[in-house]
């Protein structure tokens, strides 16, 4: 398996420490709001990584944290507490917010056919682990106490800047806006391991500790959960590119300080999905979440297909035009696959040949576009029978997870499309009745962009789906 490693900045051969078993750690969401589709792109890329490894016969032990405490609006411990902000926004408790958005996240994952990690752990459930690690770091002088808080001293870390590959001056310029002056720190990049002097009076989640009542910093949560559930080593650690600095940099510093040896040699980072403004944010009321796409008539798997057409290391710009193209191509692809006859025998020579090409696409730094091309190549291949084609695509779909071979799924999709169009026709009729012809035309064009043509007849409006 060849994979890009952020640590070495190269595509290189990946080998786990124990043959055949991959210990995979993936940073999870901060559950203060719904995930935006950018966040979901990262989880889709990680899902392809897990399933790609499984296709190559590795056993994958995947761990994910759920951050329900300690994450500030700035990743460098500054700003407001994200969970408190969420609770205030909705007039609920932090616990209610955490539970609600954890469920929403898991539901998004399911809709996107993302395999649920074997181990999902709430950050707030492992306080004793963080305390034990922090005590050891204090003992070994990697950490210091200042004004009631415990900080990690980055000057003590070996190669603190190795993951980002940048020097401190450049990093300081890059994060100037987010690194708040904290007089308690010795160095601007030192980071909080435990806070007792919270800026937030109404901090809800607090625990007793040797340094007073307080709460853990965001970074220690991932190191703690990774060490507790995966042991002394992680084979691949994942996240979005924004996690490289400071989050993953700090995870390496504290995990290695605690363990006393190098911790994870392979770092996998998904590039961002941005909207037309150049970034993706949750600050506007109506941000791009999965349910917004669903309300507009797209299925979560249309979005998954849209993501898979690009390489996980390329920044992607979201647009409804591109999503329309993905939706239409996926529908056509599914129809072709579902029209294949299931009779006959699998031609095992041809089957094996295509399975190895697919494995090569996985090994080629998870080239999802190449994987999709192989699906089309199989369909076009005049030398193989339908049964072989169907079984091959069924096998590829263990990685792509686009429900390519699920017959009942197509019926469900057709039914959903029918209901969506009928709802739109009704809305258009109401607009016409109230003489809002601009809205009526808008709805007609909105549907046309999705290849749905309306025909007004004497008996009412009918529709056709055009290819």
Site residues for ligand AMP per CB under 6 A: 27, 29-30, 38-39, 41-42, 239-240, 242-243, 270, 272-274, 280
Give the shortest CB-314-to-Zn ion separation in angstroms.
23
Which of 40, 134, 222, 273 touches Zn ion (CB under 5 A)? Answer: 222
Question: Residues 23 to 62: which contact Zn ion by CB under 5 A?
Answer: 27
Give the shortest CB-463-to-ligand AMP separation in angstroms.
35
Query: Are 241 and 36 in contact, with CB atoms under 8 Å apart?
Result: no
Contacts with Zn ion: how many residues (CB under 5 A)? Answer: 2
Work out what residue 30 binds among Zn ion, ligand AMP, none; the CB cut-off runs from 5 to 8 Å by kind: ligand AMP
Work out what residue 29 binds among ligand AMP, Zn ion, none; the CB cut-off runs from 5 to 8 Å by kind: ligand AMP
**Token pair of 23, please?**
């210990």
Closer residue to Zn ion in complex, CB, 27/362: 27
Work out what residue 16 binds among ligand AMP, Zn ion, none; the CB cut-off runs from 5 to 8 Å by kind: none
Q: How far is the first Cα of the chain from the last one, in angstroms, to the nearest whole number?
A: 39
Give the shortest CB-148-to-ligand AMP separation in angstroms.
26
Give the shortest CB-272-to-ligand AMP separation in angstroms.
4
Work out what residue 3 binds among Zn ion, ligand AMP, none; the CB cut-off runs from 5 to 8 Å by kind: none
Measured distance CA(467)–CA(460) in Å, rounded: 23
Work out what residue 222 binds among ligand AMP, Zn ion, none; the CB cut-off runs from 5 to 8 Å by kind: Zn ion
**Token pair of 232, please?**
């002394």
Nearest one of 421, 322, 330, 344 to 375, comparing CA atoms: 330
Question: Residues 128 to 147: which contact Zn ion by CB under 5 A?
Answer: none
- Residue nearest ligand AMP, Cβ-based: 240
Give the shortest CB-302-to-ligand AMP separation in angstroms.
18
**Token pair of 397, please?**
């779909």
**103-105-111 Cα angle (round to 5):** 105
Closer residue to ligand AMP in complex, CB, 104/179: 104
Query: Are 7 and 267 in contact, with CB atoms under 8 Å apart?
Result: yes
Measured distance CA(126)–CA(450) in Å, rounded: 48
φ, ψ of residue 64 to 5 degrees: the values are -135, 140
Query: Are 302 and 324 in contact, with CB atoms under 8 Å apart?
Result: no
Q: Which helix (H) or strand (E) segment is 330 a member of? A: helix 320-338
Query: Are 39 and 240 in contact, with CB atoms under 8 Å apart?
Result: yes
Measured distance CA(352)–CA(42) in Å, rounded: 31
Measured distance CA(377)–CA(3) in Å, rounded: 24
Work out what residue 41 binds among Zn ion, ligand AMP, none; the CB cut-off runs from 5 to 8 Å by kind: ligand AMP
Closer residue to ligand AMP in complex, CB, 160/318: 318
Closer residue to ligand AMP in complex, CB, 239/297: 239
Query: Are 255 and 263 in contact, with CB atoms under 8 Å apart?
Result: yes
**Token pair of 128, please?**
């004793």
Closer residue to ligand AMP in complex, CB, 171/273: 273
Work out what residue 372 binds among ligand AMP, Zn ion, none; the CB cut-off runs from 5 to 8 Å by kind: none
Instruction: Quickly tell me which residue has 């539901």 as its tokens.
Output: 107
Give the shortest CB-27-to-Zn ion separation in angstroms.
3
Give the shortest CB-429-to-Zn ion separation in angstroms.
50
Measured distance CA(8)–CA(216) in Å, rounded: 30
366 binds Zn ion (CB under 5 A): no
Give the shortest CB-223-to-Zn ion separation in angstroms.
8
* Residues of this chain that bind Zn ion (CB under 5 A): 27, 222
């Amino acid at each position: 398996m060849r994979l890009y490693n952020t640590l070495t900045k190269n595509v290189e051969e990946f080998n786990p420490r124990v043959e055949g078993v991959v210990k995979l750690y993936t940073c999870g969401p901060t559950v203060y709001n719904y995930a935006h589709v950018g966040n979901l792109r990262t989880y889709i890329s990680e899902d392809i990584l897990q399933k790609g490894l499984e296709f190559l016969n590795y056993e994958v032990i995947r761990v994910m944290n759920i951050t329900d405490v300690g994450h500030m609006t700035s990743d460098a411990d500054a700003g407001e507490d994200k969970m408190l902000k969420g609770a205030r926004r909705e007039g609920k408790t932090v616990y209610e917010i955490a539970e609600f958005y954890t469920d929403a996240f898991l539901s998004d994952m399911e809709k996107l056919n993302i395999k649920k990690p074997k181990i999902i752990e709430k950050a707030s459930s492992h306080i004793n682990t963080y305390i034990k690690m922090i005590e050891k770091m204090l003992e070994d002088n990697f950490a210091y106490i200042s004004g009631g808080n415990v900080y990690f001293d980055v000057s003590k870390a070996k190669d603190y800047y190795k993951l980002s590959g940048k020097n401190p001056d450049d990093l300081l310029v890059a994060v100037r806006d987010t690194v708040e002056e904290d007089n308690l720190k010795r160095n601007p990049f030192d980071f909080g391991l435990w806070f007792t002097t919270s800026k937030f009076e109404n901090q809800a989640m607090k625990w007793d500790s040797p340094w007073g009542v307080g709460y853990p910093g965001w970074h220690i949560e991932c190191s703690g959960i990774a060490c507790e559930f995966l042991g002394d080593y992680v084979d691949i650690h994942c996240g979005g590119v924004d996690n490289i600095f400071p989050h993953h940099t700090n995870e390496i510093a504290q995990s290695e300080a605690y363990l006393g040896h190098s911790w994870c040699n392979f770092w996998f980072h998904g590039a961002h999905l941005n909207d037309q403004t150049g970034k993706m944010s949750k600050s506007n009321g109506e941000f791009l979440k999965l349910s917004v796409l669903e309300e507009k008539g797209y299925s979560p798997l249309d979005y998954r297909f849209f993501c898979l057409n690009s390489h996980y290391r390329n920044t992607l710009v979201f647009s409804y035009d591109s999503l329309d193209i993905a939706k239409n191509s996926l529908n056509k692809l599914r129809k072709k696959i579902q029209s294949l006859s299931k009779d006959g025998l699998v031609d095992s020579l041809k089957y094996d040949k295509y399975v190895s090409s697919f494995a090569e696409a996985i090994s080629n730094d998870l080239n999802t576009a190449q994987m999709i091309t192989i699906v089309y190549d199989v369909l076009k291949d005049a030398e193989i029978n339908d049964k072989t084609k169907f079984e091959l695509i069924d096998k590829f779909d263990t990685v792509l997870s686009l429900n390519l071979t699920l017959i009942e799924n197509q019926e469900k999709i057709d039914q959903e499309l029918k209901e969506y169009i009928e709802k739109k026709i009704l809305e258009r009729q109401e607009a016409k009745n109230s003489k809002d012809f601009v809205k009526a035309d808008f709805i007609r064009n909105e549907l046309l962009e999705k290849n749905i043509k309306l025909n007004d007849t004497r008996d009412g409006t009918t529709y056709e789906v055009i290819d």
